[in-house]
Amino acid sequence: MTDKALDLGVIICKHCMTVIDTLPTERVLRYYSDCQELDCLMTRVKEEQSSYAASPHTLAASRQS
């Protein structure tokens, strides 16, 4: 029998839930990270822009103008 571990670990994009990679681990593990897929990046940028536009700081600044 070999000492090679199985790929029981998985890295998942926390935004689009795509499997980024697997890892040889001794037990089932899930890690969350950010993928670099263009569609996912564009969705994140749009979400950040819309959440910033609706933030209280932006609303307060627009009322003062």
Q: Judge if pTM exceeds 0.75.
A: no
Residues 55, 48: Cα–Cα separation, whole Å:
10
Are 36 and 11 contacting, i.e. CB atoms less than 8 angstroms apart?
Answer: no
pLDDT tens track, the chain, 65 positions: 456 778 999 999 999 999 999 999 999 999 999 999 999 999 999 998 988 877 776 555 555 55
Instruction: Identify which of 33, 29, 1 has the alpha carbon closest to the alpha carbon of residue 20.
Output: 33
Q: Where are the alpha helices (DSSP H) in 1-65?
A: 38-53, 56-64
CA angle 9, 35, 33 (to 5 degrees): 50
